[in-house]
Amino acid sequence: MFSGVYLVLALVAMWFFQATVAKRLEPPVVPYSEFLSLLQEGRFDEVEIRQTAPGGAVRPAGARRPARLQGA
């Protein structure tokens, strides 16, 4: 038989997932001035101009694979 306790537990589990795991999956937000500096240094492998903010994939010093960034 279904109980309201299961519903509450499911909601708490979803909230915990959103607050912890899903937050780590988002690209970091950087200030626009830092975004421009990285762009001028030629550290981007790819740049995306979106409707709300620029974004792209920047290669950290010494890294082979680019990290995703989202402009502020």
From residue 70, alpha-carbon distances to 15, 36, 47 in Å are 24, 12, 10
Over range 12-26, report the average pLDDT. 81
Check whether 60 has a pLDDT greater than 60: yes
Residues 30/72, Cβ–Cβ less than 8 Å:
yes
Q: How far apart are CA 3 and CA 21, in angstroms?
A: 27
Q: How confident is the model at residue 15 (pLDDT cuts 50, 70, 90)?
A: very high
pLDDT score recorded for residue 70: 61
DSSP string, 1-32: ---HHHHHHHHHHHHHHHHHHHHHHSPPEE-H
pLDDT score recorded for residue 10: 93
Q: How confident is the model at residue 35 (pLDDT cuts 50, 70, 90)?
A: confident
